[in-house]
Amino acid sequence: METVKTVVFALILAGLIRTLLFQPFWIPSGSMKSTLLIGDFLFVNKFTYGYSYASCPTLFGVDFCGFAKGADDRLFGSEPERGDVVVFKHPVHGADYIKRLIGLPGDRIQMKDGILYINGNPAPQTAIAPFVEVYEKQGPQQGFPRCANSRPALGGDCVKERAMETLPNGVTHEVLNIEDSRADNTEEFLVPAGNYFFMGDNRDNSVDSRFPQRGYNPGVGFVPAENIIGRADRIVFSAAGSALWKFWDWRSDRYLKAID
């Protein structure tokens, strides 16, 4: 009976920590390269922005706080800042996404020739050294990265153009460019009250708020404040192989790396 009590209390404590403080997150895709790589493992700080229905974990397909969706309110809430890297629930199918916060309520957001415009003003980009990675299968999905230099030989260099972008509040971060895509030129989006606009740093390889919420495999569109889970601050470790437990494939330069 004492063993049972110990296990129960441990599970309750773990559940409280996961619900109220930190949620583990493993990066499954390349949409946030080079800031986040496939296989980065991090904890999401959940108390930074307060709590909503999205703060509760979904276990075995059960959304324990789904009944509160639509309340449009956050307990102990605080406003996220432009440039934060944020985990949120997809507004349509509820999957966890991680992107960078670009647009605040009331902002006008547009892409022109690959340059981000916020309220009519361009976010300056300064070209820096290209992002180079090995052309090989990555992560559990074993997909190949997209490259600006066409399709290199297996094991060769996969190159992407890289720039340092500066947002209006002074936050700087790296963005990647692979090709001229339809998402490089968009309509102007007016972010509604109570919503936010997110984009991936790997601009040509990210399904984000530039794409509407319609049809199969919907884009993200605007994200309601209640869908925000928390802020990603620091990488714990990074698994370059196909599974987290393959510690021999962990990247030695990413332990406890701050997320900019």
Q: How far is CA 158 from CA 8, 148, 185, 203, 207, in A?
A: 49, 7, 25, 16, 21
Would residue 206 show up in a list of annotated catalytic residues for this protein?
A: no
Q: Which residues contact 20 (CB under 8 A, 6 or more apart)?
A: 46, 47, 51, 55
Q: How far is CA 27 from CA 52, 87, 98, 122, 173, in A?
A: 23, 11, 8, 29, 18
Would residue 150 show up in a list of annotated catalytic residues for this protein?
A: no
In the set 33, 89, 99, 160, the catalytic residue is 99
Would you please indicate which residues are annotated as catalytic (active-site) residues?
31, 99
